[in-house]
C-alpha cells in the first residue's frame, strides 16, 4: 500500500472535484482521479487539469438512463473496474463522490476488508430519489419500487456506517442518515480559477446570446426536473432565447416537444468546450433552475453555483422548502416560485427580464457569494483535516 497515495473518484467528473484534486496534488499528495467516460457531465473540461495529476477515464460503454437493468449492469461494471485499479495501485485513502450506490457499496466493502480508508462524499441520497420516482406510479411502487428503494437504503446506510468518514454537502442530509460522530459538512462550490479564453467566432450559441436576451439552463434534465416550465417560458417570451446546455434523453425529448409545438426559440447543445461555455455564460442574462414537487428537500442543484460564479441572476421553480430556494432568497441572488405556481414563475421571469437594476443587484450578490465561499485553498484546508493529509 502506498503511504502517500489518494484516489479521488467522481463518477460524473464535476469541476469542484477536479478543483480539489488539483489543490491536493499541489500540496504534495500523490493523487489519481477517476471518472466515468460515459457519464461525464463536463465534456473535455478535465483536460485543463490533466497536467497536474493522473486522470483515468473509465469506459463501460453507453449507459441508457431509462433502462434500469442495463444501467445497473454498467454501473456495477464501473465499480469492478475501480476495484481492479485499487488492487493494482493500493492507495491509502479513497474519496468517493457521485458513485452510484451499488458499486459504491462494493468498493467500500472491499476497502474495509483490506484496511483502505474511504471517505463517502455524499452529494445526493439515492434511496429517496428512487422512492420518489416510483411513487409516481402507485401500482409499480408496491410491486417493485418499495423493495428496490429498501435495498438501496440498505446499501446506502452500509456505506454511511462503514466509511472512514462522511462528507455531506448540506446539514439537512443528517436527517436521513444514522446519527454518528464521523459526519462533516462541506458545501459544494465551483472553481473560480480563470483560464485563458479564446473566442470561437463560429459557435452559433455565442452569436445567439449576443444577439438576443437569453435565459440559460445548464446541467442535467431528469425525472426530478419539470422541464414543462421551459416550454412555457419560451412561449411567454418568443423574442428571447432559451439555451439548454445538457446531455441526456430528457433534454432531447424537450427539444422534440418544442418543435412539435412550433416553438423556435429553444436551443439545445449537448457538449461544449469550457471556453465556449465561459463565453456563453458571460453573456446570458438569467439562469434557470427547476425541481419537481416530489424531489426531496436535500436535492441541491449545483448549476446555481455556476450561475453565482458568472454573476447570472437565478430564476427558480422549486419547492420553497428546498435548501437552494432558501439560499436564493437569503442571499438575494434571484427569484423563486413554488413548483406548482406557473403564473408566479412567469411573473418572476417578466420582473427580472424588465428590471436591469434588479438583475444587476442579483448578479453582484451572486459574485460576492462565489468569491467568499469558493476559495479553493480554504476548502482544501477543511478536507485536509478530514482526510488527515
* Residue 86 confidence class, pLDDT cut points 50, 70, 90: very high
Contact 78, 60 (CB under 8 A): yes
Contact 1, 30 (CB under 8 A): no
Residue whose entry in the numeric block shows the C-alpha cell 434500469: 68
pLDDT at residue number 219: 77
Q: Mean per-residue pLDDT for 344-362?
A: 97
Q: Mean per-residue pLDDT for 220-229?
A: 69
pLDDT at residue number 345: 96
Which has the minimum average pLDDT: 139-143, 159-163, 252-256? Answer: 139-143
Higher pLDDT, 328 or 218: 328
Other C-beta atoms lying within 10 Å of the C-beta of residue 133: 20
Q: Is 30 helix (H, G, I), strand (E, B) or coil?
A: strand
Residues whose CB falls within 8 Å of the CB of residue 90, separated by 6 or more in sequence, listed in order: 1, 2, 5, 116
pLDDT at residue number 166: 96
Contact 333, 365 (CB under 8 A): yes
Distances from the Cα of 97 to the Cαs of 12, 74, 226, in angstroms?
9, 17, 25
Flag whether pLDDT at 383 surpasses 80.
yes
Q: Mean per-residue pLDDT for 312-340?
A: 93
d(CA 271, CA 277): 9
pLDDT at residue number 177: 83
* Residue 82 confidence class, pLDDT cut points 50, 70, 90: very high
- Kindly report the pTM of this predicted structure: 0.87
pLDDT at residue number 222: 60
pLDDT at residue number 143: 66
Q: Mean per-residue pLDDT for 101-106?
A: 96
Q: Mean per-residue pLDDT for 91-110?
A: 96
pLDDT at residue number 248: 66
Q: Mean per-residue pLDDT for 183-207?
A: 78
- Could you report the per-residue pLDDT of 117-144, keeping only the tens digit for each? 999 999 888 767 666 666 566 666 666 6
Flag whether pLDDT at 165 surpasses 90.
yes
Flag whether pLDDT at 198 surpasses 70.
no
Tell me the pLDDT of the chain averaged across its residues. 87
d(CA 195, CA 192): 9
d(CA 62, CA 37): 9
Flag whether pLDDT at 45 surpasses 90.
no
pLDDT at residue number 223: 56
| C-alpha cell, 173 | 442530509
* Residue 266 confidence class, pLDDT cut points 50, 70, 90: confident
Q: Mean per-residue pLDDT for 43-57?
A: 85
Which domains occur in the chain, in start order? 5-191+374-387 (3.40.50.2000), 204-373 (3.40.50.2000)
- Using alpha carbons, select from 343, 344, 314 the residue that is nearest to residue 329: 314
Q: Mean per-residue pLDDT for 307-325?
A: 92
Higher pLDDT, 128 or 184: 184
Amino acid at each position: 500500500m502506498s503511504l502517500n497515495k489518494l484516489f479521488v473518484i467522481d463518477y460524473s467528473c464535476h469541476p469542484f472535484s477536479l478543483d480539489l484534486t488539483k489543490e491536493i496534488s499541489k500540496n504534495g499528495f500523490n493523487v489519481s482521479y477517476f471518472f466515468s467516460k460515459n457519464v461525464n457531465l463536463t465534456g473535455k473540461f478535465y483536460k485543463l487539469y490533466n497536467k497536474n495529476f493522473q486522470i483515468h477515464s473509465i469506459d463501460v460503454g453507453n449507459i441508457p438512463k431509462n433502462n434500469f437493468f442495463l444501467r445497473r449492469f454498467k454501473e456495477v461494471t464501473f465499480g469492478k473496474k475501480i476495484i481492479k485499479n485499487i488492487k493494482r495501485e493500493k492507495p491509502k485513502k479513497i474519496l468517493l463522490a457521485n458513485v452510484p450506490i451499488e458499486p459504491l457499496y462494493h468498493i467500500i466493502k472491499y476497502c474495509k476488508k483490506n484496511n483502505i480508508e474511504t471517505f463517502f462524499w455524499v452529494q445526493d441520497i439515492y434511496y429517496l430519489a428512487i422512492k420518489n420516482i416510483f411513487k409516481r406510479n402507485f401500482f409499480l411502487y408496491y410491486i417493485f419500487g418499495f423493495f428496490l428503494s429498501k435495498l438501496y437504503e440498505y446499501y446506502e446506510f452500509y456505506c454511511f456506517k462503514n466509511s472512514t468518514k462522511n462528507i455531506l454537502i448540506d446539514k439537512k442530509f443528517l436527517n436521513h442518515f444514522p446519527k454518528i460522530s464521523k459526519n462533516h459538512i462541506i458545501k459544494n462550490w465551483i472553481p473560480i480559477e480563470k483560464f485563458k479564453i479564446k473566442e470561437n467566432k463560429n459557435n452559433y450559441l455565442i452569436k445567439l446570446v449576443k444577439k438576443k436576451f437569453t435565459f440559460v439552463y445548464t446541467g442535467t434534465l431528469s425525472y426530478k426536473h419539470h422541464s414543462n416550465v421551459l416550454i412555457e417560458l419560451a412561449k411567454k417570451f418568443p423574442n428571447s432565447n432559451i439555451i439548454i446546455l445538457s446531455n441526456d434523453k430528457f433534454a432531447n425529448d424537450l427539444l422534440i416537444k418544442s418543435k412539435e409545438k412550433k416553438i423556435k426559440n429553444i436551443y439545445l447543445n449537448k457538449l461544449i468546450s469550457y471556453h465556449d461555455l465561459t463565453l456563453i455564460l458571460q453573456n446570458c442574462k438569467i439562469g434557470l433552475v427547476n425541481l419537481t414537487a416530489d424531489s426531496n428537500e436535500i436535492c441541491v442543484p449545483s448549476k446555481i453555483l455556476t450561475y453565482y460564479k458568472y454573476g447570472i441572476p437565478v430564476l427558480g421553480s422549486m419547492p420553497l422548502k428546498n435548501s437552494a430556494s432558501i439560499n436564493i432568497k437569503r442571499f438575494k441572488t434571484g427569484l423563486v416560485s413554488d413548483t406548482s405556481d406557473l403564473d408566479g414563475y412567469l411573473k418572476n421571469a417578466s420582473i427580472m427580464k424588465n428590471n436591469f437594476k434588479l438583475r444587476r443587484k442579483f448578479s453582484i450578490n451572486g459574485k460576492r457569494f462565489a468569491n467568499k465561499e469558493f476559495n479553493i485553498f480554504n476548502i482544501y484546508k477543511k478536507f485536509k483535516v478530514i482526510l488527515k493529509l
